Amino acid sequence: MGLARHLQKEAQAQHNNSEFTEEQKKTIGKIATCLELRSAALQSTQSQEEFKLEDLKKLEPILKNILTYNKEFPFGVQPVPLRILAPGEEEHLEFEEDEEEGGAGAGSPDSFPARVPGTLLPRLPSEPGMTLLTIRIEKIGLKDPGQCIDPYITVSVKDLNGIDLTPVQDTPVASRKEDTYVHFNVDIELQKHIEKLTKGAAIFFEFKHYKPKKRFTSTKCFTFMEMDEIKPGPIVIELYKKPTDFKRKKLQLLTKKPLYLHLHQTLHKE
């Protein structure tokens, strides 16, 4: 567990204190999650979702070549969220039980604690003849929003091969839930002029939430918007089952019930 802890701290080190890039820090964070899962598997009597020793061995070449590793991570895990390692919490990590399982967080059951500040970026400078896009994420419709702890949305722009065209942005934790909706009401500034996006690009939205039992953040569902859908005004887009398919090849709707992400687009042209 000491290695997992050390890796988590390295993964969460501030930009200028670390020799690793943001992408490498994400990979290190995912390795830390795998070590936590292996540790949990060793302590568990159930063999249902065990993280086996041979799984762990797959991580060895990644760790050895962390500075040059650029392939897809072999497991669908997310880095351990930053808030797990809040000051003074490290020493209690092993004894942490699932106190949060019962609801959306401390305080009112209809609000979420703002623990994760998000990584939203400011609008780019305008350029003559170029268009910038602001997407307001209003709300997402779900069957069981009350079960989601610290929910947020990761926004990325990918080409047809699933390669990032802009920096990835995370929204802050949702502001509240109401009936079957989780409300965000945040603006995402697209980090590229529309005219500079490659043909076939898409804007992805991954809805993520924290799982106390597994101690990591999981993607619940995702959706995306293609270039021909970029127009001013409101838009609703259907939700798909995880894992996120950035190549858009095997899409499965989340449920038969119509569930949507509600957005509002604003175009800024010089």
pLDDT score recorded for residue 12: 63
- C-beta atoms surrounding 233 within 10 Å: 9
**Token couple for 149:** 């702890």
User: What does the pLDDT look like over 217-228, one tens digit per residue?
Assistant: 889 999 999 999
pLDDT band, residue 114 (cuts 50/70/90): very low
pLDDT band, residue 42 (cuts 50/70/90): confident
Beta sheet of 202-211, edge-to-edge order: 169-170, 149-158, 202-211, 216-226, 240-241
Beta-sheet strands, E only, within the chain: 131-141, 149-158, 169-170, 176-178, 181-189, 202-211, 216-226, 233-238, 240-241, 260-269
pLDDT score recorded for residue 202: 97
Look over the chain and give the mean of its residue pLDDT values, rounded to a whole number: 79
Given a cut of 50, whether residue 108 has pLDDT beyond it is: no
Q: How many residues does this entry show for the chain?
A: 270
Q: What is the pTM of this model?
A: 0.61
**Token couple for 93:** 């990590």
Distances (CA, A) of 91 to 1, 11, 88: 11, 18, 7
